[in-house]
Amino acid sequence: HQSDRDPVKMLAIGIGGGSMPMFLLHFFSSLSKDAVEIDPVVIDAAKSSMGFPEQNDRLGLYVQDAAAFAQEHQSKKQYDFVYIDAFDGEDCIPEGLCSEDFIQSVASMMDPEKGVLLMNFHDEDPRAFKTAQRFHHSIHGTSFTVSCRIQKNFILCCSTSDYLSG
């Protein structure tokens, strides 16, 4: 029963068209979510074209750089699930999201017993492999990648525990 579940706290970095946040909020009533998007134009487009909500009691929307958000909130917020899908104009992970400081900040915001991170990478991003390795080494638990050859990307999955592996 949904009301018997503990609330799930999620952080999404990069909202794109907003379909993932809307999907999760619609189908998971115990979910509360913070979404961070640096570009107000992306947010406006998601609202005007994709039906992204102007306001939702379970959604905190932050219009700021994700690295700054992570640094500012690393000791104040803790998340069960972190989803990173952010790219610059070159279809690469923004440089600030590849830094050791950002990675450590994200790792510190993850629930130490049940935290999960999913991060989307494009195969041709020159920073992708090294950034995935840094997350793997910073989030102690289980890590693996899933490749999608059609779209030429891969998803990094990390857990702060071993429950993903078995």
List the catalytic residues. 85
Report which residue type is found at 79.
Y
Contact predicate 11/36, CB 8 Å: yes
**Residue among 43, 56, 53, 34 at smallest CA distance from 16:** 43
DSSP letters, 17-85, are: TSHHHHHHHHH-TTEEEEEEES-HHHHHHHHHHH---S--TTEEEEES-HHHHHHHHTTT--BSEEEE-
In this structure, are residues 85 and 16 in contact, taking their beta carbons and an 8 Å threshold? yes
